[in-house]
Structure 1
Amino acid sequence: MIAPQAQGDCVTILMAVYNGADCLEEQLQSLLAQDHPCWHLVTSDDGSRDDSPAILADFADQVRARAEATGARIRVSNLQGPGQGGSENFLFLLRQAGRAALPGWIAFSDQDDVWLPDRLSRGLAALRARSDDGPALYCSRTWVSSSDLGERRLSAPRPRPTGFRNALVQNIASGNTILLNPAAADLVSTAVSRVPQVVVHDWWVYQLVSGAGGEVVHDDEPTLLYRQHAVNQIGANDTFWSRLKRVRQLLRGDFRDWNRINVAALRSAGTALTPPNRALLEDFARLPDLPLPLRLHRLSRLGLYRQSTISTVALWVAALLRRL
């Protein structure tokens, strides 16, 4: 169990772990190097068969000792995950955070990245600079890196505005960079108790926050090293071959299946979505059942878009082939 803690400027960091021993220690040490002084790491190990549980236990001892010696406002809680895969593990973490009334700021963390020292402080500054206290999500670009953290390149830019019309058909919120303000954390932790299934947790969170009328801030500056290796669950999707893989997924109907799951998840949020966005969701859900001319006409009227011209063309191809 996670002990309740008063809200404040502390950030709850949710980390899903599974057989991450090769890279986990570097990521944990990058948390200790954060220039934001108050955080609570909550990990959920999903049945690792390597040394991950021992590494997490040792890190919890290390953090406890540092906090006792220096008064640092840092702590660690290690949980046992549900054993149902990465996305369900993150949903489990969100449910546990909601039940324990943890601090309002929530960040997601992968087990194999390395955070830059301002990963948290940069996101906090961006969200605090807003003029209202409604739901808001921060995310950023990353340094896409090889398994040894070399060969770095910037992740894809996001030149078009964020928002629900983008979120319905594309995820631009890389989960390992997400930070939720207290209002967004409350929105997500409340909705997660009702959600039947998600494609990936970060896409669902982007859709939910934007659909509820919240602001999504995408930072053009990278905040972490995004390690690429043979067992990435998703990967950066910024190479020719990864894009070709996405086209194949579209043609065989994966995009259509994802959309059905996303629509069901968003419907479960009920009145959390704004009335215009609930109407947009229902219009989007009806698209595949329309005759081709009307389907293309409605898609144009809905104003859905992706971040690049080629991916927007792929959206129209999906509509043409009834793969939405």
Structure 2
Amino acid sequence: MIEILCATYNGMRHLREQIASIEAQTLNDWHVTFFDDGSTDGTVEMLEALAAIDTRFSLIRNPVNLGFCGNFLNNLSKLKNADAYAFSDQDDIWYPDKLERAFDWLARVNGGTPAVYFARTEIVDEHLNHVGLSPEFKIEPSFRNALVQSIGGGNTMMFNQSARDLVVNTLPTTKLISHDWWFYIVVAGYGGVVRYDSTPVLKYRQHAANLSGTNNSISGQILRLWMALRGEWRAWNTVHEEAIKTFEDCLTPENRAVFHAFQQARHGDWPFERLSVLKRTGVKRQSALQTKFLPILALLNRL
């Protein structure tokens, strides 16, 4: 059985299409729990009616608004034990083999080893017209990459119970950047298995209401570098640094050493001291251009 956690908030406009794509999966041993974050557009009423007639669907209403990241992470512990777990956004369209493709890989991993699967997405507009694909990442997933970059959307994820339990048990009380990035950091840091599939598994609807998006163009890369110079990467790294401190004893010895060196590269007193330490960490982003930019950020104290 695959337990699917679908976070909803005023998603009435596209939610029926997403539900239909789940019902059309080639792997049909699944159950969906919708966690609603305070919808006022009829989403709750529609899901209550669905759950009343189809036991494959359940609805839980959050007592307070958790936001998209909190809705996923804080509700993980409420899911029933299962062979695997998947996250679902409310406005995507899953390819028919999405669950089967991910589960085929996950089933080959020892159940005691935390494992998480990510994949690419097809980007579409409001009317499902093809826009492009999310970036194709070629560097092997690792903690050194996870420290500075997320490689896959939560809507593509599947993970085993070991990964679920690990994330639940290491969840900090502070607010995180995104649920998918935190999974990558925790599972990779612990020494688990992270899989990135370069084959797209769903249509990701890009529209004004999206809280986050994907841009693989040159202008998109330049925008990311500008964000880094403005200090946004440093702000994200600070959030993760404080959160990782709460479970750093769970990191592998190698990853703990990388984390401590990364801290030195961020907080060293002298610019060239920070640069020297950064080189020893081996921290890298998937983009060669953005990786080359990391030493500049270290020198400018923007890492």
TM-score normalized by the length of structure 1: 0.87
Q: Which amino acid aligns with 2:23?
A: L
CA distance in 2, matches of 1:81, 1:283: 41
CA distance in 1, matches of 2:115, 2:66: 28
CA distance in 1, matches of 2:63, 2:81: 18
Instruction: Identify the match of residue 63 of structure 1 among 51, 54, 57.
Output: 54
**Where does residue 7 of structure 1 map in the other structure?**
none
Deviations, residues 168-188 of structure 1 (Å, cap 9, x unaligned): 011002111011112112211
Answer whether contact 2:189 2:255 (CA < 8 A) is retained.
yes
Counterpart mapping for 1:177-196 below 5 A: 177-192=156-171, 194-196=172-174
CA distance in 1, matches of 2:156, 2:8: 16
Q: CA deviation at 1:53?
A: 1.2
Runs of 4+ in 1 over 6 A off after TM superposition: none
Instruction: Identify the match of residue 265 of structure 1 among 214, 232, 243.
Output: 243
2:17 is equivalent to residue 12 of structure 1 = no
CA distance in 2, matches of 1:262, 1:245: 22
What are the ranges of 5 or more consecutive residues in structure 2 without an aligned counterpart?
none
Q: Select between 110-119 and 261-270 the one with higher mean Cα deviation.
A: 261-270
Answer whether contact 1:42 1:79 (CA < 8 A) is retained.
no
SS of residue paired to 1:144: strand
2:38 is equivalent to residue 47 of structure 1 = yes
Counterpart mapping for 1:3-152 below 5 A: 10-64=1-55, 74-80=56-62, 82-97=64-79, 101-130=80-109, 133-152=112-131
Evaluate the alpha carbon distance shift between residue 81 and residue 316 of structure 1 in structure 2; reply closer, same or farther with a 3 A threshold. farther
What are the ranges of 5 or more consecutive residues in structure 1 without an aligned counterpart?
1-9, 65-73
Identical positions, percent: 38
CA distance in 2, matches of 1:16, 1:229: 18
2:155 is equivalent to residue 176 of structure 1 = yes
CA distance in 2, matches of 1:62, 1:317: 58
Answer whether contact 1:116 1:223 (CA < 8 A) is retained.
yes
**Where does residue 211 of structure 1 map in the other structure?**
189
Q: Select between 35-44 and 253-262 the one with higher mean Cα deviation.
A: 35-44
Evaluate the alpha carbon distance shift between residue 308 and residue 92 of structure 1 in structure 2; reply closer, same or farther with a 3 A threshold. same
Matched positions, count: 302
SS of residue paired to 1:255: helix
TM-score normalized by the length of structure 2: 0.93
**Where does residue 221 of structure 2 map in the other structure?**
243
Q: CA deviation at 1:267?
A: 1.8
**Where does residue 316 of structure 1 map in the other structure?**
295
